[in-house]
Structure formats: C-alpha cells, structure tokens
Structure 1
Amino acid sequence: MSTIQNNIEHIKGLIRTAEEKFSRQPHSVQLLAVSKTKPIEALEQAIASGQRQFGENYVQEGVDKIHHFNEHYNQTELEWHFIGPIQSNKTRLIAENFDWVHSIDREKIAQRLNDQRINLAPLQVLIQVNTSGEASKSGIDHAQTFALAQLINDLPNLTLRGLMSIPENVSDYASQLAAFEHLKNLQLQLQQHYPQVDTLSMGMSGDMQAAIEAGSTMVRIGTAIFGERHYPTAKE
C-alpha cells in the first residue's frame, strides 16, 4: 500500500472516530481530496484506495486532469469539485467540466455558470461565506448570503446545496468551533427556505475535529494526503 493510500485510510479513520465522538451519523462526513498541483500518478494512487471525490483550485489544471481521467478511467465514476476563487473568464471551463463548485460569492459568477452549463446535469453549488471578515479571504458577507441563495435557487442549471468557508487560521479549538458553528447556523436558516441545502464544506487538516463537531459534511484535505505542494509558476 502506498503512502497516499495509507494517508487516506488514516484520515478516514479520524473522520469516523470524530463522527462517533460527536454523535454524528456514520459516514455523514465525506472526504474531499484536495489534489491541486499534484500529478496524475498521485491521484491514481488515491483512486486505488477508493477515493472518488477530488478538489481542484486551478481551472486549467483541473480540466486537464478531468479530461485525462475521463479518457483513461471512464469506468470509474469520479466527482470533481472546483474549490478556488472564480474569475469571470474561467466560468465556461468550470461549467462545462466540474460536478461541484464550492466558491460562488457573486451573483455575476452564478449567472455565468448557469448560462454556460449547457446540456448537462445541474451544477451542484455552494456559497462561499467569509465567516472571519478578513479582507484577504474570498467569500460573501453573512447578510448578503440570502439574496445570492435566492438567485441561485431560481437558476435552472444550478442546484444550491449549501455553504463553504475558509475561516481564520487559529489554533485554539474554541475559536475554530465558534467560526464553524456560525456557518452551521446560517445553513439552518437557509434550510427553512431551501430544503435541498444539505452540505457544509468546512474543515481542513488543522481544524477538522472542530468542523465535524459543528456539523461539517465535507472536509477538504490536501497536504495530509498528498504531502507538501510545489506550486507551478503559472497557476491557470
């Protein structure tokens, strides 16, 4: 068994332990393997361990991987999630290739994704919320979330599934938990109007436990699976 396969098994074990500890339903938290900057061979090892959901931050890199695996692994059902900031000139590639988008934070982006999602099943989307108020973080303000949710709900080629956040990087558990509970409360408010909202994409290697306690349904793990990243000169 490869190191990547061992890492995935270890992380899945941690997730199952946290589910039990916090009285979550078994297998209610999914592992999204964040594979940005990682080569095809690394993803192949993850697939061999049973991993099927992959998150990409860079559009062209992600599209190239999707095309490769569609050609060479067409009997394996993989699920591709775009989790990075979205530029207007990249929406067509995202709409035409990805299954999920986690990082919608503007009406313009939602509209473009809808208009460019042609002859495909609806794109499953999350609204990215800036829970920490940091200027350096992407995401919509809490108060603006409801208007964006209404717009997305009215677009036929998008399905609103929930929320995503990248909270402030803090080490103390109480602060981590408070940020995630804020997003969970926002999700509960949305569910009153949109019952299909069932997904909370929150939690990474350093705050996964707090995220699961607060109600995360999808944790995004990269380095703990694939090792340190080596960023390319051109990311798009």
Structure 2
Amino acid sequence: MIILKMNDIAHNLAQVRDKISAAAAQCGRAPEEVTLLAVSKTKPVSAVEEAIAAGQRAFGENYVQEGVEKIRHFQQAGATGLQWHFIGPLQSNKSRLVAEHFDWCHTVDRLRIASRLSEQRPADMAPLNVLIQVNISDEDSKSGIPPEAVDELAAEVAALPGLVLRGLMAIPAPESEYVRQFAVAQRMAVAFGRLKAQYATVDTLSLGMSDDMEAAIAAGSTMVRIGTAIFGARDYTKQ
C-alpha cells in the first residue's frame, strides 16, 4: 500500500485545483463556479488534517459512522469552517446520524428518506442541504431516480421544513470517451437547469469525478467529487 509523504496531499490538491481551473477556462467558466469536494472516505483523520492545512474545507464521506467520527473529532478540536457532505447510499436506520451531523446529503432518492432527514434534523441546526440523486445511466446497480421522476420528488423535498433543496447529483456509468462523458453530463445539466428555474434555492450540480471531471465541468457541473487523486489509493480492508 502506498503511504503518502507529508505535503503530498497539499501537492495533489494544488494539481487538482489547477485541473479544475483549466477545465473551467476551456469552456469559458470561472474556476470559482466549481467547488472541489475532497472525498475522504477510508482515509485517516491525519490525511484530512493535511488537506485542511492546504486550504481544503469541503469533505465527502460515504460511510455514516466513519464520517460522524471525523466530524466529532474536528468539532472537539475546535476546527471551524468545515463542510461535511454525505455522498454514500443512505439506509433508513442511519438517517438520524446524517441528519444530526452532516451539512449536506447528496443521495436523497425517495420521499421516505427525505422525510426522516427532515424530522430528525435538530432544531438548533440550519436545515440540511440535500441533493436528489439521479440514475442518469439507468444502471440497476446504482441508486437514484430516473430523470423523469425529478420534478415530483423535488416538489416533495422542497416542502420539508428540515431540508433545503440545493440541486442534483449523479454517478454516471464509466465512459472512456470524452464525447460520451459529455453527452451524459449534458443530460444532467438539462435536468439541473429545469430544476433551477423552479426553485430559488437550487444552485448545485454534483457531477464529475477524476476520470470525467473535464466533461462534467464543460456541461455545467458546480461540484466535483475527487478522492484518490488527492489522498492516494484507498484501503477497503478496514471497512
């Protein structure tokens, strides 16, 4: 297993930010329009600390308990200004932990989960920012709703007092060709644009990872989720 040396994470972050800036410039967008979400799942607190020292503030976690432990660690350490995004599949029995600790949930795909998150969000916390997950590639193995179901679920989510509807998220099927990546991303951008026209709170399209980031940004993504390129290869044996 590769162990990153000190400052490697800072170096990697700088490289990823440069790629985001270049991709944005290529399509006439400002780099500030694209938020970098550092996916820190399976990574130790020490790696997150290095990323924070390098200026990173938004982190994505796929596993509820692991994410909560990191959030609590940094709260106890007095860290401020951090944003924690839950980006993994969410089971009903874990919804309370997400509602009580995270700032964002990217994977809302049914009313039951949205309702639980709203009910379980503590009254002394700001409403939970949520994204509706869209299964844009129609994969049986992926969570998310079909694009044609977005309007109905969006209306239901927008009415829940403990949540703020911020937009859409998708994990497209892997495509090696840029043209195909862009075509899928463009379909998400169309759905996002339609939603944005209906709700004043909608401003986020979470789309694009290491292999398809450029196509996603060209299509209009406002948030890319990058993990391995920042933190190195993951060790899943601990999960």
Q: Normalized against structure 1, the TM-score is what? A: 0.97
Match of residue 123 from structure 1: 128
Q: 1:131 and 1:114 mapped to 2: Cα distance? A: 25
Match of residue 164 from structure 2: 159
After the TM superposition, which segments of 4 or more aligned residues of structure 1 sit over 2 Å from their partners? none
Give the 3-state SS of the residue equivalent to 2:164 in structure 1: strand
Give the 3-state SS of the residue equivalent to 2:150 in structure 1: helix
Give, in angstroms, the shift of residue 88 of structure 1: 0.3
Determine whether 1:44 maps to 2:49: yes
Give, in angstroms, the shift of residue 25 of structure 1: 2.3
The residue correspondences of 1:1-236 to structure 2 (distance < 5 A) are 2-72=7-77, 74-119=78-123, 120-233=125-238, 235=239
Q: 1:191 and 1:2 mapped to 2: Cα distance? A: 39
Q: 1:218 and 1:113 mapped to 2: Cα distance? A: 22
- Tell whether the 8 Å contact from 2:13 to 2:51 is kept in structure 1 after alignment: yes
- Tell whether the 8 Å contact from 1:37 to 1:232 is kept in structure 2 after alignment: no
Give the 3-state SS of the residue equivalent to 1:31 in structure 2: strand
Give the 3-state SS of the residue equivalent to 1:192 in structure 2: helix
- Tell whether the 8 Å contact from 2:68 to 2:101 is kept in structure 1 after alignment: yes
Give, in angstroms, the shift of residue 30 of structure 1: 0.8
- Tell whether the 8 Å contact from 1:180 to 1:214 is kept in structure 2 after alignment: yes
Give, in angstroms, the shift of residue 66 of structure 1: 0.2
Give, in angstroms, the shift of residue 75 of structure 1: 4.1
Give the 3-state SS of the residue equivalent to 2:31 in structure 1: coil
- Structure 1: runs of 5 or more not aligned: none
- 1:108 maps to a residue whose letter is R
Match of residue 3 from structure 2: none
**Deviations 1:115-152, CA, capped at 9 Å, x for gaps:** 00021100000000000001011111111111110011
Percent identity (aligned): 56
Let me know the Cα RMSD of the aligned residues.
1.0
- 1:111 maps to a residue whose letter is S
Aligned residues: 233
Give the 3-state SS of the residue equivalent to 1:27 in structure 2: helix
**Deviations 1:83-103, CA, capped at 9 Å, x for gaps:** 000000000000000000000
**Deviations 1:26-63, CA, capped at 9 Å, x for gaps:** 31101000000000110010000000000000000000
Q: 2:122 and 2:50 mapped to 1: Cα distance? A: 32
- Tell whether the 8 Å contact from 2:208 to 2:221 is kept in structure 1 after alignment: yes
- Tell whether the 8 Å contact from 2:20 to 2:31 is kept in structure 1 after alignment: no
| 193-202 or 82-91: bigger deviation | 193-202
Q: 1:75 to 1:229 in 2, by over 3 A?
A: closer
